Structure 1
Amino acid sequence: MSSQRGRRSPRSTAPEQTTAKTQAKVNGRSEEKRDSRSSDGKPRPTGAAKDHDGEKNGHNVTKKRMEKSGSQDKPATSTSDKKPAPQRANSNRQSQKQKCVSSSDRDETSKTSEDPRAPDSRARKSALNADHIGDTQHTKESVSKKQPDQRKFESEGKRHKDDAQESAKSRQSKKQTNPERCESQDKPATNPAPQRAQSKRQSQKQNDHPNRNGDDGSPERSSSARQGKRLVNDKLEVVLHATLEKLKIKKDERSKASSRVNEMTNTVISHLKQKMSWCADIESLTTGSYYENVKICEPNEFDVMLTIPVERVDIQKFNKSGAFYSVALKRHPNKHPLARFLNEDMTIRASEMLNEFRDGVKEAVESLSYKIDVQRKKLKCPAVTLQITENGNPISIDFVLGLKVHGSWPDYTRDGFQIERWLGTKVRTDLKRLPYYLVPKYEGKGNDEHDGVVAKDVWRISFSHVEKDIMKRHGHSKTCCESKGQKCCRKECLKLLKYLLSQLKEKYPEKMSKFCSYHAKTTLFHACARKVEDSDWASGQLANCFQELLGNFVESLRTQDLRNFFVPSQNLLHQDHVPKSNCDFLAEQIKFQQNNTFPIFQDTSKPRSP
């Protein structure tokens, strides 16, 4: 019998285990539904506090169970003998204790039932069953006490929700009537100081970067400004193209003038070779705007350099500019054709050479059948100017004496002639292998002396032959402006700038007397060295390119700084050569023409050559 009872004891605990599991689920659901705070308003204990209480209560329960198991004949304690939980805050801890006790009881019960040698297994099982019944009754009482409080919290939550909905409806109705006020009320309170600082920064940013079109940045005004600017550019394009049409030279006029100049040049060279021994090897070098295809208005001005080749010369800088030099012969000075013009220090007296050259040119043109006028010598001018009349139009020819020097370019040209990005390194190397030229020209007073050399005997370095080659190439690509290549507006911009200077010079001769076409050409060279791509000078961008070129020239006038393209140490606008007031005057005149679409170009009268 005892063995049968021992075998039945595990099955008898099954309903009790099911009851414990069911009660644990109920306790879990009740914990989820309860509010996060206890009835007295204090927060629940943390996990560490719960574990501490659980260990303490578990110890008490285990002690109580051991006392019950020690008295086998004692009846099970009823639920009425237990004290109810005074507060809901302890209910959670008690339910947790019930879980721990139930699990531990099940383990002990199973061990007791499996061990038949345990003497008090039935008594202990009875005590545990009674303990489970008491715990179950206590849990039901706790749940029944929690339900009214739970309903109370749910009703309060529903009331708060209804109040929030009514408040939202009220704000919505106020927004419809007065939206600005409601929006300001809905926004959270912020510190006004950062807002003022941010507004100040935005205002400063707008001042630093104003709208280029002068509008307020709105799409409508921006579009209107762009459209207005487009109309101005279109009008300027029309004016500039019409001006270029007026500046074109007719082919028949060009050919007639060119043939007459060639005839006079051959006559002068032939006469000088025959009558002057030091001119036996004289050569001609055609330079200037006509041969660079940038001549404007009429073919009425030509420049021809007649050069004497020299070798083994010693050149010394005459002043700080690096553009003027004294020239001395190094080898066999007594046998050299120029020996008659040498000083004691072997320097060449340029002033005497120029006087003999002038006399020889006058004699040469006397043999020609048509009338030729020799212009009066101009101060500091190395040219002998001849003027003839062809079909009622005057034509002037400048014969310039020069020395053709074979050898390396002077050191002062080392930092100049920067065309690598524009025309290429190879082109620069090839051009620097060419000889350079010296012409008898000085600045300042002719009697000024420096190291025993007077100013009238110095020579100015010239690269007119290289300038002609640059204007012939002028494009970044080899096919620029060819029949199948892309067209550019470099030469057109130079023509317009030269014409602008000539028209202002005619209108204000005194203020414009210090300016010449070489200032315009130098400005173009610097612009081409900066803007190297042919697309930057596209023919369709004539207005923009010309305006930008004028901007560069005005900047040079304002700063009074325009460097020689080949000799950077020489400033073509130095105050010793051009007064500051003249530079400012020209800058203002150019800005006026820019702002009024160049009224000086819109004169209907036939343009006159500068």
Structure 2
Amino acid sequence: MAELDQKDYHKLDAPLSEILSSMKLKDDERKEANKYLIEIIENEVIPAMQDVDEFFKIVYKRLTPSGSYYENLKISKPNEFDRNVELAIPFKDIEVRSSSFYGYVQVKCNGDKKRFAEKGEKILKNWLDSDGMLKRNEVLQWMQSVMDRALCKKPIENVKIFPSRHGPAITLTIIVKSSSGKELEFCVDLVPVFSFDEAHWPKPPVRQPFINLPDFPKTWCIVPKEVPNNPEETTHWRISFYDQERRLMNGYNAMKAILKLIKKLRDCQNNCDYLSSYYIKTVFLWEMEKEKYSEEFWQKSIGVLFIDMLKRLVEYIKEKQCIPFFWDERHNLISKLEQDTFKNLGNRIENIINKIEKNLPGNPDYVKSCFPGWDTEDPSSSSSVAQSFSEEIKSDSDTEILSDNFSSLFSDNYPRLRQRQAQDHSLEDIGIWGAIGIGALALALGVTAVIRGIQENNRQ
């Protein structure tokens, strides 16, 4: 095949723009989802949690959005959201310590707990180990307990809520009837996090703040994400710089278009569940830095950028077999994947690239066949590659059983099980997709129908 130049790749612009336009979120759907998100989570669920637990009322700070919807990287309907439940560590003397596990830290708490009510003192005692280290599992269990009691004590009229758990998130699947009588279903991942200021920023070799970047966020978080292959290490917390990542990518709308196309390409292939959205996003963060955050680089043709970034992704997966965590490059995000997985995934992407290039001279529309089903949803109006994407907010995660005492809250109809997709948000690589059996939940809800497993991605 003759050597292709950039002009040849320009032929991909039209078909790729069609695919991109089909992913554009509808304003009315986004506004409706945001409306119910505020009405149910912010105005009902959080106040109910404060009512049933005095200590939650003390340490709760705010809800903050995260994920692909909020980053303008959502590629499907606005029906999945992430919210960080920011909590305050109720100690004046806090020490953030480096961890032996790359990408993680430990938090040592010192000080007097007696200023809290007796119940608060008991909770704090459970939160800390004998050395004063904050324990991840205990915080998650407490948060789960608060949610259990809140939903049981204060059901919401005309709203059905189905709780589940994935990793560090409590996932609420919510069904509500709109004003038009239409039944809406959406999911919200609530993740308990602790935020810190710049004075507690992790020490090098963790990446330090971008001091030359205007408005660079100085607040960062720790997330109760399990240490890979070491679940018993409960005092180690994953560092999270979601706001910083969002700031770095802010304004690069053409870059976001390419990232969305690659996420969509992944979703259109079989058995690519393990390539999480956060892995792809991290590759883009590294390549943005490699290109010195050049806006000119991302002003190239959409076809040129699409093929270029696919080839760079192959380099990370197949050749390097490593996608370093952007904030601590000692941590390989894909270290859990088998060597054959690297090879197979790299070969599959290379095969896609080769077929696109082979058909490019005479049949640039062939690229559409690499996105099977892309046009099954109503496409919205066409838009240019460099257009501004509207502000959004998102959610991604896997599922497991949260508890079995919610049958009084729900009808016998379990919500339509949806296929979800992810990021690791600043939850980074949170969430490798997997089919999770939900028979126990079906039994608890009195459902007699056979429930199929859920397949979802990640975040972070």
What TM-score results when the alignment is normalised by the length of structure 1? 0.53
- Equivalent residue runs for 1:86-125 within 5 Å: none
**Shift in Å, 1:416:** 5.9
Per-residue CA deviation, residues 174-198 of structure 1 (Å, 9 max, x unaligned), is xxxxxxxxxxxxxxxxxxxxxxxxx
Matching residue of 2:223: 439
> Is the 2:95–2:107 contact (alpha carbons within 8 Å) kept by the matching residues of 1?
yes
Matching residue of 1:606: 376
Per-residue CA deviation, residues 56-96 of structure 1 (Å, 9 max, x unaligned), is xxxxxxxxxxxxxxxxxxxxxxxxxxxxxxxxxxxxxxxxx
CA 1:518–1:233 in structure 2 vs 1: closer, same or farther (change >3 Å)? same
> Is the 2:97–2:202 contact (alpha carbons within 8 Å) kept by the matching residues of 1?
no
**Shift in Å, 1:392:** 4.5
Matching residue of 1:360: 146
Query: In the alignment, is residue 304 of structure 1 matched against residue 63 of structure 2?
Result: no
Distance in 2, matches of 1:277 and 1:359, equals: 13
Distance in 2, matches of 1:533 and 1:303, equals: 30
- Equivalent residue runs for 1:259-408 within 5 Å: 259-266=35-42, 267-279=44-56, 280-282=58-60, 283-310=62-89, 311-321=92-102, 323-335=103-115, 339-340=124-125, 341-365=127-151, 366-378=154-166, 381-389=167-175, 391-392=182-183, 394-406=185-197, 407-408=199-200
> Is the 2:279–2:333 contact (alpha carbons within 8 Å) kept by the matching residues of 1?
yes
Matching residue of 2:276: 516
CA 1:545–1:312 in structure 2 vs 1: closer, same or farther (change >3 Å)? farther
CA 1:319–1:392 in structure 2 vs 1: closer, same or farther (change >3 Å)? farther
Distance in 2, matches of 1:308 and 1:549, equals: 38
Query: In the alignment, is residue 549 of structure 1 matched against residue 328 of structure 2?
Result: no
CA 1:544–1:609 in structure 2 vs 1: closer, same or farther (change >3 Å)? farther
**Shift in Å, 1:554:** 0.8
> Is the 1:333–1:346 contact (alpha carbons within 8 Å) kept by the matching residues of 2?
no
**Shift in Å, 1:292:** 1.3
Distance in 2, matches of 1:258 and 1:545, equals: 32
Distance in 1, matches of 2:374 and 2:213, equals: 46
**Shift in Å, 1:414:** 4.5
CA 1:567–1:335 in structure 2 vs 1: closer, same or farther (change >3 Å)? farther
**Shift in Å, 1:495:** 0.8
> Is the 1:350–1:456 contact (alpha carbons within 8 Å) kept by the matching residues of 2?
yes
- Equivalent residue runs for 1:160-309 within 5 Å: 213-214=2-3, 230=7, 232-266=8-42, 267-279=44-56, 280-282=58-60, 283-309=62-88
> Is the 1:249–1:298 contact (alpha carbons within 8 Å) kept by the matching residues of 2?
yes
Matching residue of 2:340: 581
- Equivalent residue runs for 1:359-508 within 5 Å: 359-365=145-151, 366-378=154-166, 381-389=167-175, 391-392=182-183, 394-406=185-197, 407-412=199-204, 414-415=206-207, 425-427=212-214, 431=216, 434-445=218-229, 448=232, 455-471=233-249, 473-475=250-252, 489-504=254-269, 507-508=270-271
> Is the 1:298–1:609 contact (alpha carbons within 8 Å) kept by the matching residues of 2?
no
Distance in 2, matches of 1:521 and 1:243, equals: 19
CA 1:447–1:296 in structure 2 vs 1: closer, same or farther (change >3 Å)? closer
Distance in 1, matches of 2:236 and 2:206, equals: 21
**Shift in Å, 1:605:** 4.8
How many pairs are equivalent?
348
CA 1:330–1:522 in structure 2 vs 1: closer, same or farther (change >3 Å)? same
Matching residue of 2:415: none
**Shift in Å, 1:601:** 1.7
Letter in 1 for 2:283: T
> Is the 2:101–2:227 contact (alpha carbons within 8 Å) kept by the matching residues of 1?
no
Matching residue of 1:204: none
Distance in 2, matches of 1:308 and 1:413, equals: 27
**Shift in Å, 1:413:** 5.2
CA 1:409–1:294 in structure 2 vs 1: closer, same or farther (change >3 Å)? same
The alignment partner of 1:534 has SS state of coil
Letter in 2 for 1:548: D
CA 1:415–1:470 in structure 2 vs 1: closer, same or farther (change >3 Å)? closer
Distance in 2, matches of 1:360 and 1:260, equals: 22
CA 1:297–1:568 in structure 2 vs 1: closer, same or farther (change >3 Å)? same
Distance in 1, matches of 2:323 and 2:155, equals: 44
CA 1:396–1:435 in structure 2 vs 1: closer, same or farther (change >3 Å)? same
List runs of 5+ in structure 2 lacking aligned partners: 177-181, 357-366, 378-418, 422-460
Letter in 2 for 1:327: V
> Is the 2:64–2:84 contact (alpha carbons within 8 Å) kept by the matching residues of 1?
yes
Q: Compute the RMSD of aligned alpha carbons.
A: 2.6
CA 1:444–1:289 in structure 2 vs 1: closer, same or farther (change >3 Å)? closer
The alignment partner of 1:369 has SS state of coil
Distance in 1, matches of 2:227 and 2:262, equals: 26
Per-residue CA deviation, residues 193-231 of structure 1 (Å, 9 max, x unaligned), is xxxxxxxxxxxxxxxxxxx945xxxxxxxxxx66xx74x
**Shift in Å, 1:263:** 1.8
**Shift in Å, 1:241:** 0.6
The alignment partner of 2:134 has SS state of coil
What TM-score results when the alignment is normalised by the length of structure 2? 0.69
**Shift in Å, 1:463:** 0.9
CA 1:594–1:536 in structure 2 vs 1: closer, same or farther (change >3 Å)? same
Task: Report sequence identity in percent.
Answer: 22
**Shift in Å, 1:446:** 5.4
CA 1:296–1:393 in structure 2 vs 1: closer, same or farther (change >3 Å)? farther
**Shift in Å, 1:348:** 1.9
> Is the 1:501–1:517 contact (alpha carbons within 8 Å) kept by the matching residues of 2?
no
**Shift in Å, 1:293:** 1.4
Letter in 2 for 1:502: D
Per-residue CA deviation, residues 283-323 of structure 1 (Å, 9 max, x unaligned), is 111111111111112102100000112353223334342x1
Distance in 2, matches of 1:404 and 1:604, equals: 39
The alignment partner of 2:130 has SS state of coil
> Is the 1:316–1:325 contact (alpha carbons within 8 Å) kept by the matching residues of 2?
yes
Asked which structure has the greater RCO (Cα within 8 Å, sep 6+), the reply is: 2
**Shift in Å, 1:398:** 0.1
Q: Bigger radius of gyration, 1 or 2?
A: 1
**Shift in Å, 1:437:** 0.6
